[in-house]
């Protein structure tokens, strides 16, 4: 664990703490309390800042330059994993093990167990540990994060919400799912950005600057939102689920990526290390944005983010030790 990464962790906690103080002191709550303030910040992130970031990322992405084999070595196991986590939680809900869960709960749990803090913590980590070549590969992974994971989980949650309408016909369910999945603050900017990318026109400097400025707001707004949600719900009663999510994210996912990327795709050295450490990142703030969007498991998502970030220093050191051992033994 380098000093630069440690400083980033401290900055994350300080920003979350400011959000918590703002919530406790009712600086943003007004007469309605913390809830309306948290909802307003969440809506601003979900409908304005995140779409701007996703559209700009997709519109500027150079697909021809992406290392597709290495990306496949990461996203193949991650997609299998996220579908397995989603399916397990969906079956658990169907068996009434979680009778109070909303239809969106399985997908919300799956995104928390999969989507890491790839920007604010991941970028400085990759730069500090792996230099410019590793950072370039990490950014390639991050650039497809929203396209692959958010689009898939958005589709899954919209399917579950449509199925929850017991009176709907199959045709109505398909229409509702397709409409809500396409006209969605995550899916629509991704598809629009891809379409614009294919035109080859590029972004006008004014448009690019505007989208870039809006995208920069994602991280601080989300971190303050985590603090507000902590002030609203606290940690009591949510630790067990958060521990499970953190264990999946910090231990199971990187172990799976390590096994598939090394044994299945034959990766080693720097590419393998970048992929494993990307998978080993703590739960990202998009898990809370997703939970806020569908009004389910906000407290558990927040607790998982905080706890996984707290223990990341230890688990990151563990995975760096494993990678060093494999390097010495020719793994």
Q: What count of residues does the chain have?
A: 331
- pLDDT band at residue 307, thresholds of 50, 70 and 90? confident
Which residue, 305, 299, 214, 282, is CA-closest to 38?
Answer: 299
Residue with tokens 């969605």: 184
Tell me the mean pLDDT in the region 43-54.
84
Instruction: Give the other-Cβ count within 10 Å of 200's Cβ.
Output: 6
pLDDT: which is higher, 162 or 322: 322
Segment 3-28, tens digit of pLDDT: 766 777 788 888 888 988 888 887 77
pTM over 0.85? The answer is no
Q: Report the C-alpha gap between 144 and 151 in whole angstroms.
A: 10
| Domain range enclosing 161 | 3-328
Instruction: Please tell me the predicted confidence (pLDDT) of residue 216.
Output: 85
Looking up residue 208, the CATH number of its domain turns out to be 1.20.1530.20
Instruction: Please tell me the predicted confidence (pLDDT) of residue 173.
Output: 61
Tell me the mean pLDDT in the region 130-138.
86
Instruction: Please tell me the predicted confidence (pLDDT) of residue 72.
Output: 95
Lowest mean pLDDT of 91-95, 125-129, 150-154, name the range. Answer: 91-95
**At residue 164, does pLDDT exceed 80?**
no
Q: What is the mean pLDDT of the chain?
A: 83
Segment 51-78, tens digit of pLDDT: 888 888 888 888 888 899 999 999 999 9
Q: Report the C-alpha gap between 63 and 143 in whole angstroms.
A: 10
Instruction: Please tell me the predicted confidence (pLDDT) of residue 175.
Output: 67
Instruction: Please tell me the predicted confidence (pLDDT) of residue 259.
Output: 96
**At residue 195, does pLDDT exceed 80?**
yes
pLDDT: which is higher, 100 or 322: 322
Instruction: Please tell me the predicted confidence (pLDDT) of residue 196.
Output: 93
- Contacts for 293 with CB less than 8 Å, ≥ 6 apart: 42, 46, 185
Tell me the mean pLDDT in the region 96-123.
80
Return the SS3 of 116: strand
**At residue 192, does pLDDT exceed 80?**
yes
pLDDT: which is higher, 200 or 76: 76
Cβ proximity of 238 and 300 under 8 Å: yes
- Contacts for 203 with CB less than 8 Å, ≥ 6 apart: 56, 59, 60, 196, 211
Which residue, 322, 311, 216, is CA-closest to 262?
Answer: 322
Tokens of residue 216, six digits: 């920069």
**Burial class of residue 81, CB neighbours in 10 A (0-12, 13-18, 19+):** buried
∠ CA(204), CA(205), CA(207), 5° rounding?
65
Q: Report the C-alpha gap between 287 and 300 in whole angstroms.
A: 10
- pLDDT band at residue 240, thresholds of 50, 70 and 90? confident
Q: Report the C-alpha gap between 115 and 264 in whole angstroms.
A: 22
Instruction: Please tell me the predicted confidence (pLDDT) of residue 327.
Output: 79
Tokens of residue 302, six digits: 């927040």
Kindly list the distances between the CA atom of residue 88 and the CA atoms of 93, 97, 157, 161, 305, in Å, as whole numbers in the listed order: 9, 11, 14, 17, 21
- pLDDT band at residue 204, thresholds of 50, 70 and 90? very high
Q: Report the C-alpha gap between 266 and 268 in whole angstroms.
A: 7
> String of b and e for 17-34 (b: at least 16 CB within 10 Å)?
ebbbebbeeeebbeeeeb
Which percentage of the chain shows pLDDT scores above 70? Answer: 87
Domains identified in the chain, total number: 1
Alpha helices (H) in 61-169, listed in sequence order: 68-94, 105-112, 122-143, 145, 151-163
Instruction: Give the other-Cβ count within 10 Å of 217's Cβ.
Output: 16
Q: Report the C-alpha gap between 120 and 219 in whole angstroms.
A: 7
Segment 251-304, tens digit of pLDDT: 999 999 999 999 999 999 999 999 999 999 999 888 888 888 888 888 888 889
Cβ proximity of 309 and 9 under 8 Å: yes
pLDDT: which is higher, 61 or 316: 316
**At residue 81, does pLDDT exceed 80?**
yes
């Amino acid at each position: 664990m380098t000093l630069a990464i440690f400083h980033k962790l401290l900055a994350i906690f300080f920003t979350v703490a400011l959000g918590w103080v703002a919530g406790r002191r009712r600086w943003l709550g007004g007469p309605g309390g913390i809830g309306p303030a948290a909802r307003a910040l969440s809506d601003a992130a979900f409908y304005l800042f995140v779409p701007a970031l996703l559209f700009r990322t997709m519109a500027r992405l150079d697909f021809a330059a992406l290392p597709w084999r290495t990306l496949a070595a990461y996203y193949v196991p991650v997609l299998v994993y996220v579908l397995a986590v989603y399916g397990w939680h969906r079956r658990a809900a169907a068996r009434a093990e979680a009778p109070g869960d909303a239809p969106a709960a399985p997908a919300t749990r799956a995104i928390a167990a999969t989507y890491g803090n790839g920007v604010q913590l991941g970028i400085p980590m990759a730069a500090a540990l792996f230099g410019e070549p590793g950072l370039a590969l990490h950014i390639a992974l991050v650039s497809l994060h929203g396209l692959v994971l958010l689009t898939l989980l958005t589709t899954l949650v919209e399917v579950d919400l449509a199925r929850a309408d017991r009176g709907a016909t199959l045709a109505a369910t398909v229409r509702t799912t397709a409409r809500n999945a396409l006209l969605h603050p995550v899916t629509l900017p991704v598809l629009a950005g891809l379409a614009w990318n294919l035109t080859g026109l590029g972004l006008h400097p004014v448009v690019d600057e505007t989208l870039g400025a809006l995208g920069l707001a994602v991280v601080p707004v989300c971190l303050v939102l985590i603090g507000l949600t902590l002030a609203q719900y606290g940690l009591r009663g949510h630790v067990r689920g958060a521990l499970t999510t953190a264990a999946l994210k910090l231990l199971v996912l990187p172990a799976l990526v390590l096994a598939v990327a090394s044994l299945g795709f034959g990766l080693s050295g720097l590419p393998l290390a970048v992929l494993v450490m990307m998978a080993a990142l703590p739960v990202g703030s998009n898990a809370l944005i997703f939970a806020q969007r569908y009004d389910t498991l906000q407290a558990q998502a927040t607790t998982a983010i905080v706890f996984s970030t707290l223990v990341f220093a230890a688990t990151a050191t563990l995975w760096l030790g494993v990678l060093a051992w494999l390097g010495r033994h020719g793994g």
